[in-house]
Amino acid sequence: MKHFLIVGGGVAGYSLTIALLNKNTKVTVLDSDENHGSAVAAGQINPIVFRRMNKSWRADEYMPVARNLYEELESFSETAIIVDKQIRRLFAHNQERDEWLKRQELPEYEMYLEKLSEDDLNFSQAINICGSGRVKQSYYVHAKNFLSACQNYVSNHENGAYRKSKVNHSLVDAAKIEYKKEAFSGIIFCEGYKNFENPFFNFLQVDCTKGQLITVRSPIYKEESLNRKCFVMPIGSGEYKVGSTYEWNQPNVKIDDAAKELLRSNLASLVLERFEIIDQIAGIRPTVKDRRPIMGEHPDLSGLYIFNGLGAKGYMMAPLLGQELAEFILRGTELNKEVRLNRFKKKC
């Protein structure tokens, strides 16, 4: 039986691990447990890009596969992973509302854009300038429950193993596909923004886009997630996550007052209620200039692979991409050309 080593237990590493386990292979996951991506993420699944009011890249393919994986893990772990809080966009200007009105009539948007009703246009539970619209099929993933369900799933699987351990790249023998003298059928690096520490793949530029979030306590409307300038996500007990900032080339997770003030003022422009800020955290999105993930085999070292660059939408994309990468590794099925390594022409 083939045995793979996965380095990194974020949404990328676990999506691939589960896909490989489902294809009757053995998988060992090593994770340093310093996760500043998947563990911090709001986990929102939103097929619509509000700025242009169009669909996210490959959203129609990602959405059903993501939901399936989260439902499966939910029934395995008996914990809540899918939180069905629909996203309500409060339109920033009339043009956004008019775009929505146009698109809601198109068959390809019917499954995502709720037709605007009088109630949506006059929505009064937040500061409403030009009306609002609800995104069908949107929800958020409870990130902490997801990660602990994955860890348990792998540990309990007859062909799976999980170890908390930071991989020392100097102990990887690339020619023999070994780590600490143990041989594998392949080693797949899913290290998020830490890719810069990886001597095999750090020629691929994975940027660090820092994001800060605040948690507030307030009697804000709690039936849905609200969105304009920031998102406001109900997390229970009268608390909400509000985010997030986009800070380019910031490989650190320090929180600061400038981000807190920006989120505070964005929230104040969206909701009517007073709120108290009770927490603030920061994480890092692994992003790529062309906004496409990076997946595939090393150009010179066969048996070494990468799965990275999931940017701001890892929770939506990783479940399908993990399956596609598993197919590529096991059967050589071609990857989508937009994610391949050979688009970084100079080095590959």
Ligand X SMILES: Cc1cc2nc3c(=O)[nH]c(=O)nc-3n(C[C@H](O)[C@H](O)[C@H](O)COP(=O)(O)OP(=O)(O)OC[C@H]3O[C@@H](n4cnc5c(N)ncnc54)[C@H](O)[C@@H]3O)c2cc1C
Say how far apart CA 215 and CA 172 lie, in whole Å. 41
Measured from the CB atom, the residue of 131 and 294 that comes closer to ligand X is: 294
Nearer to ligand X, 37 or 303 (CB): 37
Report, in Å, the least distance between residue 346 CB and ligand X.
23
Residue closer to ligand X, measured from CB, 35 or 215: 35
Rounded to whole angstroms, what are the CA distances from 49 to 54, 147, 163? Answer: 6, 26, 37
Cα dihedral 175, 300, 323, 334 in deg (nearest 10): -140
Angle at 209 between CA 275 and CA 312, to 5 degrees: 75
Considering only CA atoms, which of 343, 320, 326, 35 is closest in space to residue 204? Answer: 343
Angstrom distance (rounded) from CA 304 to CA 327: 15
- Is the Cβ of residue 90 or residue 263 nearer to ligand X in the bound state? 263
Nearest by Cα to 263 from 240, 285, 286: 240
- Least spacing, CB of residue 264 vs ligand X, in Å: 16
Specify the residue, 100 or 315, whose C-beta has the smaller distance to ligand X: 315
Minimum separation from the CB atom of position 262 to ligand X (A): 13
Backbone angles phi, psi at 97, to 5 degrees: -65, -40
DSSP state of 239: E
Question: C-beta of 211: minimal distance to ligand X in Å?
Answer: 3
Q: Give the residue with the Cβ less far from ligand X, 133 or 211.
A: 211
Residue 101 CA to residue 108 CA, distance in Å, equals 14
* CB 228, min distance to ligand X, A: 16
Cα 261 off chain centre by: 25
**What are the Cα distances from residue 24, in Å, to 158, 255, 291, 326?**
10, 43, 32, 11
Closer residue to ligand X in complex, CB, 103/194: 194
Shortest distance in whole angstroms from residue 99 CB to ligand X: 22
Query: What dihedral do alpha carbons 33, 63, 140, 248 form, nearest 10°?
Result: 60
Q: What letter would DSSP give residue 279?
A: E
Binding residues for ligand X, rule: CB under 6 A, are 7-13, 30-38, 40-44, 166-167, 190-194, 211, 213, 243-244, 283-286, 308, 310-316
Q: How far is the CB of 198 from ligand X (least distance, A)?
A: 7
Our CB check for ligand X shows the closer of 34 and 273 to be 34
Minimal distance in Å, beta carbon 49 to ligand X?
A: 13
Cα–Cα distance for residue pair 182/201, rounded to 1 Å: 21
